[in-house]
Structure 1
């Protein structure tokens, strides 16, 4: 068996430096085949698998549904093909958006969805990367929502297989979208790019991808005869050769997959609370918060821009601070920024508002933040002055991230950063 599998990889791997592949038993997690599975690769439109993961997560939270309208900004409408072709100011339903991502791999739809959920594509990419870390995809970084060329947007075949399994396990109620072969939009029939659907027994998704730097990529899910696998092929020279290689991998590895009971292979992690951006906030270019931005990145989050969307109980505190001035006891804060690892919980248009958010957060997590030092820090974003609301005094990155994780369990948005 080992010799046979080695033969599968020999031709594509030896002749093509972009090649990477892996097959995983979706019931047990056993690796049935791998070659260069941990080598960095460009995901191309496999990126949209994570875009859709974020969409499904937002749908599961009840914040949006398949009939929710998604409006296209000028930026979204101007994305290069492949695209759906919606004009700036136009909108489609979320159901149409999902189908366009699955079948046509529409880049304009990716950006529109990213701006809708994350407030900006940049912030949505931070949310995607943070989610990748929660899912154990430690070699993946996203810089956009569609997969168009970006030298910093990297992944591995193993990480993409893990994402494919996570989509199956975490969102069975939405997973059927990946088996969509075509849908009708504006009188046009739009067919899937996934040629294995309907041509290889048991294939039920997931996603194709291509840019020149990546070659032809494909993640495939197969369920048949009591067996389930998720397979990844990256770096194909043509779509046809990629598909043929994938079909061969399925044929050779599926008989070795388990017919036993399934077990959870990918933990869900912390749910990212979506910030459903208004048209006004998108127009203003406001960067809105995700749950766990990367530590080296510092998204600035004007609290007035997302108070209406913030989770309870933070929403109540923000509303009190911004709308009524509030009567919360103000917390004594450090007069100068605290150095080292800190946690940011919000930013506000005035120092008074920032202090009130700190007071409320300290009240909600008094034991957790007993030894932390609250402080405010001024910054300028797009010509406007804001004040960061932060807690300092953490001994290490791990201590700050652990504290932030605990705050999230109390529905407090935050991120850790080295000041």
Structure 2
């Protein structure tokens, strides 16, 4: 039997290129049809919206474009009309020459700090000794002249590079609130806000900054030497052999027992206000807490822990190895017959009134300070009660 073979027609292999081309045409057609449908629907919605707005004009709202959204999110208040790149959000206190290049620092990479002091002419000699302890390449000097006398400081070598501000009979906190805005001093690593009656024979500013940076302190002060200081508190007694202390393990001046595990002021998280030093991060917080009308800042010291950038038992401390002497002189508000008084050449109307009635000015200043303390406490309590979003990190104590 013979095998029969049938020759069937062979199919040609389909070209891969043709398949891809056909698929592309199909997808394009699908998108074209969908786009046409969406376009029609969008036009219909636009027409419907126009009819509704025409009948109810109050429903019309300005369209929010991506550009407007970006400006609202990225631009500081008041700068919306400017291109973002031209906005200068911060400043500093560095003086600029009228012509020519500015003087270069020895170490431009090292951040500078700021020393700000309220001063009077009668403390000129002591202030001069204090400022000599702060190297010009590392510190900007800012003087608040509460007696109105500025020209008499021109003979000092550093006077021409210092910033001088004058306002009669104002405290350093009054000046600080108005002239040390966080955006202005943001370039400075630390802000020293000191009184003028401090002895600095045993103080080195460079070593002090190095210590607080290494210790991670955001709020600090140098210790007071109990052997040389006329006025000191036990809490800031210099401890032999120590660099920094953060806790007080003794009876505090507020008659409160302090123990090793104490975590609230004045046993810890507290510094005295004649020589505080703030990191720029802490100062931004403290500046907001300074009340505009409470110029003596009493009560502020007990709340500094909220500005310590974290645990107040760790980031607030007193530097024992770099200490100063607090002379405790009756300066601002002192009477004319006392040494180192801060009375201006021309007495103010308030001073004349007090002296004519034989009133002790220092007593009146202290009375005002106590009044401000109670006012600050009252405002703090009220603010806590009214702020539903604020959570006190220390309310467990």
Task: Name the TM-score class by shorter chain.
Answer: under 0.3
If the length of structure 1 is used for normalisation, what is the TM-score? 0.22
If the length of structure 2 is used for normalisation, what is the TM-score? 0.22
Larger Rg: 2
- Structure in which a larger fraction of residues adopt strand: 1
